[in-house]
Structure 1
Amino acid sequence: MDNKIAIITGAGSGIGRTTALRYCEAGGKAALFGRTESKLEALAAELGEDHCLVVSGHHETPGDAEKVVEAVRERWGRLDLLFNNAGTYQPATVADTSIEAWNEALASNLTGPFMMTRAALPLLRENGGGVIVNNSSTLGLRPVPGSAAYCAAKAGLVMLSKSCAIEEAGNGVRVIAICPGVVDTPIHLGRGGGSETSHREFLEAAGDMHPLGRVGTTDELASLVLFLASDDSSWTTGSVITVDGGISLS
């Protein structure tokens, strides 16, 4: 990743945070984008100001996507990787999903990545190409009860990735969707009652649902993102990659 430049959304925690750490450790530089500035600043302090910049905002809010891309243009003048990682999850059946919850799920998990992609494409093209990695989910490939809006949004993100891949191949922009199973991240902190004990119990139960017998780690996801961002994957685009402990097989 020597001197390559990334924008990482949802960089304050979970997969985004670990990916930012690993990317910069590998010699890259990253724009840390997310909602909670204090978390981004704490990560920036670990990375050092020479390796990153912080932009707080909401990727689904008009103007915020353009803001972080412009900050990257001014600081480094190029972009090599957009990792559309940020997203939210609120469980509910179709019957119990309010229009507000539906709109929020689509805004966070689909519209936000679309707006980031649209804002980043000109800078990626100027460099002769780059990589967009969209963090979808196994629930974007197969539904489970009680996750209707999330499943719909993540399925849309898979198709957005494929559409963008075929449109941008001639510009040297590769686009890949990754579909994790359950990963040990803060997005699950509210599951099983909200306490740390119930959170661990949820992860253990979720791990038992995966053929490999455990949930994933943020390091495993970061390793995949770094591979996809590297020249070693230069013939990979339009792919939908499950990294899920085998749960999509069950």
Structure 2
Amino acid sequence: MELANKKVFITGGSAGIGKALLAEFIRHGVRDFAVMGRKQAALDALKQEFPEARLLLIAGDVGQPADLDRAVATIAEEWGGLDVLVNNAGVVSAGLLADQSDDDIISQININLTGLILLTKKALPLLLQSTDGALINISSGYGYLAMPFYSVYAATKAAIRQFSDAMRREHYQHPLRVMTVYPSATDTDMMKTAVVKGMDSAEEVARASVEGLLAGQINVIMGGAEREAQIKTNFLEPRKIDAVAASNYEALRERTARHRSM
């Protein structure tokens, strides 16, 4: 896949993994970006940080269908097409299910999953016009390995995995690559309230993602051979992962006690 001259739309692109992906795409020759985020000031700052990029800055909330309609309409009007959609925006609220507010549960589902699906639906007519298009969905390691205190978040990220598989199979006759990325704990603002050591950097996730896209991968799983083995065990012998979760229960409770980024 040749990335130069591609038009790329990134949600949640003003910080964290989204901004690192913007930088990585630039390194591979991309210059035209649409970036959607909730904070106008953070979007505006991208102009100074990436002067070589031609930016369509779209302030909006992925959880609001009207904002998605406006974003796609803006891209259609300005570009007339789209080559790569990166569904990256996400939020998290950890804790026992009984302790999570209804609003946090609904928002996680709306932003992490419903908005991702709706934006994909709305952008598909543009993507399918591309002769070499791509849909990249950012999931999470919890999309494969659900752990205590992340029930809602893990559910949304696991659903992304199934959605990606369905999209790849639904559009097999089109030149549209569908790839899912499964970051492990990543050192971004989203993780500031979690107690985690040894996190990946956003740049590492972005580099692996773009390399995976260029290599034609359908899944990019961070965490190396150990994570691959855990996923296999969870599929074949889930009670073994149950035992791991139980033995780490109190540590996980402490780690997630204040983890909220909404």
Residue in 2 that maps onto 1:163? 166
Alignment of 1:201-212 (within 5 A): 202-204=195-197, 207=198
Aligned residues: 226
Q: In 2, Cα distance between the equivalents of 1:58 and 1:49?
A: 26
Amino acid corresponding to residue 229 of structure 2 in structure 1: L
Instruction: For 2:72 and 2:26, locate their aligned partners in 1 and report how far apart those are by CA, in whole Å.
Output: 18
TM-score, structure 1 normalization: 0.84
Match of 1:242 among 216, 221, 224: 221
CA drift at 1:127: 1.9
Q: Equivalent residue for 2:21?
A: 19
Give the drift of 1:71: 1.9
Kindly provide the CA deviation profile for residues 113-171 of structure 1, in whole angstroms up to 9, marking residues without a partner as x: 11110111000111235111111011111111111100111111111111111111212
Runs in 1 of length 4+ with deviation above 4 angstroms?
none
AA partner of residue 149 (structure 1): V
Question: 1:229: Cα distance to partner?
Answer: 4.0
* Preserved contact between residue 33 and residue 53 of structure 2 (Cα < 8 Å): no
Unaligned regions of 5+ residues in structure 1, if any? 192-201, 208-214
2:205 is matched with which residue?
221
Identity of aligned residues (%): 29
Tell me, in whole angstroms, the C-alpha distance in 2 between the residues paired with 1:107 and 1:73.
24
Change (3 A) 1:50 1:140: closer
1:92 to 91, 95, 106: 95
Whole-angstrom CA distance in 1 between matches of 2:86 and 2:228: 23
State how far apart, in whole Å, the 2-side matches of 1:46 and 1:98 are.
37
Q: 1:166-177 residue pairs with structure 2 within 5 A?
A: 166-177=169-180
CA RMSD between the two structures:
1.8
The one-letter code sitting in structure 1 at the alignment partner of 2:209 is: V
SS of residue in 1 equivalent to 2:92: coil
Task: Report the TM-score, using the length of structure 2 for normalisation.
Answer: 0.80
Amino acid at match of 1:249: A
